[in-house]
Chains A and B, each alone.
Chain A
């Protein structure tokens, strides 16, 4: 019940295309859903995050869509660029008193072809 399932494992998109990564969870106590971006040799960096009281959040080319009833959320990268090539992780946590404990998905390796 603590798992977060992420798909696809890898994704290849042409420059200018839309990249879509999906995550699903079981624990209804989760109330904070961040996405992290990780480049080789670096630690993950927070990209965008959402709470379940909203269905969508957009920051620049990055959008999170959240479906509370389906217990699913997804990351959309619009106008994908080669510089977006990285590994993306979704995560979830119970925010109350558990700031440091994130449950991560398995990651999606995104390659954006020029």
Chain B
């Protein structure tokens, strides 16, 4: 069974640009969450999607957005990039929103903003 797939693996952008990251969850998984990982702030929750609806959102500005498609694949978008947005963006999937559901993480997209 394939794991969580994130594309692209690496991305370099300049300030002011926008970026779209993609996540394909494990087959059959319907919940997708996104996290930002930086050396200074660690792992921080961005948002969670289930059945194409955003169910939960972290404390990030509106420049960070996402969506989920009917096949559970998800994308996140960051507009008007800032230097501080440089980070590893991780996607995690789980089968549903049941209590204590195990999260499976992808290897992430490393975004560098110059």
Contacts and interface: CB of A to CB of B under 8 A. Distances in A.
A29 interface: no
B102 A46 contact: yes
Nearest to A96: B99
Interface residues of A, number: 25
Interface stretch (B14-22, B79-87, B90-98): B90-98
B43 A101 contact: no
A69 interface: no
A94 to B, nearest CB: 10
Contacts of A44: 43, 90, 105
A105 B44 CA distance: 10
Interface residues of B, number: 31
A48 B103 CA distance: 12
A60 interface: no
A99 interface: yes
A78 interface: no
A37 to B, nearest CB: 11
B56 A98 contact: yes
Nearest to B57: A101
Interface of B: 4, 31-33, 35, 42-45, 47-48, 50, 55-56, 58, 90, 92, 94, 96-108
Interface of A: 32, 36, 41-46, 49, 51, 89, 91, 95-107
